[in-house]
């Protein structure tokens, strides 16, 4: 079974983690095995790069932080995978609720491990306060969109205005929700194009969720017939076409609305419900329009089209002569 992108990414992180751990272990080998390379490397790596308060930033400290965060990210991911595939599947929770709970618990595991692990690698929390104060302004300005989207992602997981598999429309984006991350949500369109939407847009903008209640969606088809047609016959034919289509639901029933008397046609609206073609409403409408055109032709029901008469108040003599010359002459 081929691996997806997430699994490949996790394997790459795991390989990188093993390489970094091996490098750290090598630094602590005995002098006899390393020929002094380990000691010289430790001296270089322990050389302070910068001091912030009582905290000395060294290359070795940075390497330990990278190893720790990589391991913590892997543990958080594996926790979410274990909960979704092994634990929560045996609960009565719906699939979207299982995803939300697993995602939130993975965030908690990451935060808990972050607070517990900083002491184990030699970081002093009181020194981090100094670092946070020094970088607070930069983080507040530069990472404000990231924090906003992350908070919006937490709100989406708890309130669940949108869920995995929902058919949504936000701005000019229309498609299915296929992935929900901490910063963004992936929406796949009918063209199989994935649009990555920042989570803040779902909080600050008006979002249309076509499947929030259930998978049933109503589709309306507008059409007109000539004034010579019998409206009752038109209604019966339209209902027959709708009921014969396999993707049109019998409950709720299709209905035909006589909307108005147009300039050149009697206007109707066919309303049908579907759950099978929520993602492809245009295809369903195309099928119905093909069937309507065929049945109207069989019953001699005309579909009118606009006609215009052109009256010329004045015309150039050259144009008049050209028209006269090109018009057929009567013999007799």
Which pLDDT does position 183 carry in this prediction? 84
The band of 64, judged by pLDDT with boundaries at 50, 70 and 90, is confident
Does pLDDT of 63 surpass 80?
A: no
Residue 27: closest CA among 55, 67, 69, 54 = 67
The band of 65, judged by pLDDT with boundaries at 50, 70 and 90, is confident
Which pLDDT does position 258 carry in this prediction? 95
Does pLDDT of 290 surpass 90?
A: yes
The band of 19, judged by pLDDT with boundaries at 50, 70 and 90, is low
The β-bridge relationship of strands 194-198 and 173-180 is unpaired
Q: Return the percentage of the chain with pLDDT > 70, whole number.
A: 69
The band of 332, judged by pLDDT with boundaries at 50, 70 and 90, is very low
Residue 67: how many other CB atoms lie within 10 Å: 19
Which pLDDT does position 231 carry in this prediction? 94
Does pLDDT of 173 surpass 80?
A: yes
Mean pLDDT (the chain, rounded): 78
Q: Is 73 or 61 the better-scoring residue by pLDDT?
A: 73
Could you say which DSSP state residue 120 is in? H
Q: What is the mean pLDDT of residues 186-198?
A: 91
Contacts of 190 (CB under 8 A, 6+ apart): 175, 279, 280
Which pLDDT does position 32 carry in this prediction? 45
Does pLDDT of 194 surpass 80?
A: yes
Q: Is 128 or 91 the better-scoring residue by pLDDT?
A: 91
Which pLDDT does position 13 carry in this prediction? 62
Contacts of 3 (CB under 8 A, 6+ apart): 11
CA separation for the pair 311, 285 (Å, rounded): 39
Which pLDDT does position 243 carry in this prediction? 94
Q: Is 239 or 156 the better-scoring residue by pLDDT?
A: 239
Give the range among 31-35, 61-65, 77-81 with minimum mean pLDDT. Answer: 31-35
CA separation for the pair 173, 194 (Å, rounded): 10
Does pLDDT of 282 surpass 50?
A: yes
pLDDT tens-digit series, residues 231-279: 999 999 999 999 999 999 998 999 999 999 988 899 999 999 998 888 8
Q: What is the mean pLDDT of residues 35-53?
A: 59
pLDDT tens-digit series, residues 66-111: 777 787 888 888 888 888 888 877 777 777 677 777 888 888 888 8
């Amino acid at each position: 079974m081929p691996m997806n992108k997430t699994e490949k990414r996790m394997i790459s992180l795991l390989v990188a983690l093993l390489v970094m751990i091996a490098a750290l272990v090598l630094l602590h080998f005995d002098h006899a095995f390393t020929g002094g390379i380990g000691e010289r490397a430790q001296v270089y790596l322990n050389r302070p790069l910068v001091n912030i308060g009582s905290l000395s930033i060294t290359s070795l400290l940075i390497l330990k932080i990278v190893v720790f965060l990589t391991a913590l990210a892997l543990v958080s991911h594996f926790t979410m995978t274990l909960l979704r595939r092994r634990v929560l599947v045996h609960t009565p929770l719906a699939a979207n609720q299982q995803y939300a709970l697993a995602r939130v618990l993975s965030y908690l595991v990451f935060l808990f491990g972050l607070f517990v692990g900083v002491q184990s690698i030699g970081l002093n929390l009181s020194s981090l306060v100094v670092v946070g104060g020094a970088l607070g302004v930069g983080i507040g300005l530069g990472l404000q969109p990231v924090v906003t989207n992350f908070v919006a992602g937490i709100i989406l997981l708890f309130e669940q205005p949108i869920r995995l598999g929902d058919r949504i429309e936000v701005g000019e984006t229309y498609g299915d929700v296929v992935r929900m991350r901490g910063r963004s949500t992936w929406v796949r369109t009918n063209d199989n194009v994935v649009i990555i939407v920042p989570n803040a847009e779902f909080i600050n903008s008006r979002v249309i969720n076509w499947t929030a209640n259930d998978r049933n969606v109503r589709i309306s088809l507008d059409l007109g017939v000539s004034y010579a047609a019998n409206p009752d016959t038109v209604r019966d034919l339209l209902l027959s076409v709708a009921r014969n289509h396999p993707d049109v639901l019998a409950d709720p029933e299709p209905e035909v609305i006589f909307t108005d008397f147009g300039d050149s046609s009697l206007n109707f609206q066919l309303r049908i419900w579907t759950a099978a073609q929520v993602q492809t409403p245009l295809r369903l409408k195309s099928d119905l329009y093909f069937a309507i055109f065929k049945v109207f032709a069989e019953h001699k029901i005309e579909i009118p089209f606009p006609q215009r008469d052109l009256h010329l108040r004045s015309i150039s003599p050259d144009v008049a002569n050209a028209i006269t010359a090109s018009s057929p002459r009567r013999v007799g």
